[in-house]
């Protein structure tokens, strides 16, 4: 059980480190939203541990053929995690998108352990295998999780989710980056997020700088779908171009880049939290969770 607790601890750490980094437009240690505080995110980040541990254990059991891949129950674990998060604080939705990514990652890690395989060799493949074997029950539990968290976005697409989770993500992927990520083998997480985080950390030996630079890279390449839903796709593209300009100025590596980051932060906060790149933050958290599994799991 110690190994599964370790996976849960690394998920908690990833969630805490992500929200504790001063990223433009997000809730951070120095910026709350009217309905959700930094402390809400911290409480929620701690509360996810039991569901993450269970997801990892189920992945392990499936890898040992004690249960089938369809019985890993990613939807139920997302729902249970959201219930625990909801009990932990009075604020708004803090972790739904993140948990939609974290639960399959944890299950994939458990599957790796059952086969004594290195995470670097088979984690991504195992995650894809688990998602491809998802069920209608997983979709129904996700729908419940969305209602419990009072989150928008996918809500309109989930009125009758009588199809397996993976198929549901496919039909939702055109307007939701999390859904797209779950049907692409987590391409952004594994091909862009983790390599960027690793490279910048090794250059700077500063994890918060690495997290912030990764955030800017993802924001510069993918219009944030949370912003697009609240303020329109054109606004999301404008912010993408602003992130590109920051990187051209050096991002976290230069004084000009850091000044541009501060300016973007001010601009993103002018309209309340309508310009919060929340999806990008979730993707950064997923990359951080995978990176920690690769670097710190023992």
DSSP 115-158: TT--HHHHHHHHHHHHHHT--HHHHHHHHHHHHHHT--SGGGG-
b/e burial code for range 212-225 (CB count within 10 A of at least 16 → b)? bbbbbbbbbebbbb
Q: Which of 62, 57, 61, 48 is nearest to 101 (CA)?
A: 48
Instruction: Name the residue ranges covered by the structural domains of the chain.
Output: 2-204+288-296
State phi, psi for 31 to the nearest 5 degrees: -140, 115
pTM, whole model, 2 decimals? 0.96
- Residue 276, pLDDT > 80, answer yes
- Residue 152, pLDDT > 70, answer no
At how many degrees (to 10) do helices 96-114 and 74-88 cross? 130
Q: Average pLDDT, stretch 44-64?
A: 98
- Residue 180, pLDDT > 60, answer yes
Q: Average pLDDT, stretch 136-150?
A: 93
Q: Average pLDDT, stretch 17-37?
A: 97
Helix intervals (H) in 222-254: 225-231, 233-248
Instruction: Give the Cα separation of 58 and 72 in Å (integer).
Output: 5
Cβ contact 37:28 at 8 Å? no
Amino acid 150: pLDDT: 82
Helix intervals (H) in 173-232: 177-183, 187, 194-204, 207-221, 225-231
Residue length of the chain: 298
Q: Give the list of residues 6+ apart from residue 283 with CB closer than 8 angstroms, or none.
A: 101, 177, 178, 181, 188, 189, 193, 218, 222
- Average confidence score pLDDT of the chain: 94
- Residue 140, pLDDT > 80, answer yes
Q: Average pLDDT, stretch 239-259?
A: 98
Amino acid 296: pLDDT: 86
């Amino acid at each position: 059980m110690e190994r599964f607790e370790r996976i849960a601890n690394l998920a908690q750490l990833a969630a805490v480190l992500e929200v504790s980094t001063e990223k433009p437009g997000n809730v951070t240690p120095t910026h709350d939203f009217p309905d959700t505080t930094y402390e809400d995110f911290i409480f929620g980040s701690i509360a996810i541990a039991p569901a993450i541990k269970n997801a990892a254990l189920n992945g392990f059991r499936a890898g040992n053929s004690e249960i089938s891949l369809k019985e890993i129950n990613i939807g139920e674990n997302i729902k249970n995690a959201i219930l625990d998060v909801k009990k932990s604080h009075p604020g708004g939705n803090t972790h739904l998108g993140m948990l939609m990514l974290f639960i399959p990652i944890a299950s994939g890690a458990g599957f790796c352990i059952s086969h004594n395989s290195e995470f670097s060799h088979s984690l991504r493949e195992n995650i894809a295998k688990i998602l491809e074997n998802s069920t209608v029950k997983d979709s129904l539990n996700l729908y419940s999780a969305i209602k419990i968290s009072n989150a928008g976005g996918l809500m309109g697409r989930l009125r009758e989710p009588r199809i397996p989770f993976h198929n549901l993500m496919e039909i939702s992927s055109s307007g939701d980056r999390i859904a797209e990520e779950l049907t692409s083998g987590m391409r952004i997480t594994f091909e862009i997020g983790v390599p960027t985080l690793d490279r910048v950390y090794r250059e700077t030996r500063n994890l918060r700088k690495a997290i912030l630079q990764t955030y800017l890279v993802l924001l510069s390449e993918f219009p944030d779908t949370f912003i697009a839903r609240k303020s329109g796709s054109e606004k999301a593209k404008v912010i993408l171009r602003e992130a590109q300009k920051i990187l051209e100025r050096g991002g976290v590596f230069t004084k000009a880049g850091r000044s541009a980051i501060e300016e973007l932060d001010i601009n993103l906060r002018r309209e309340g939290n309508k310009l919060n790149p929340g999806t990008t933050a979730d993707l950064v958290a997923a990359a951080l969770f995978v990176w920690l599994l690769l670097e710190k799991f023992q």
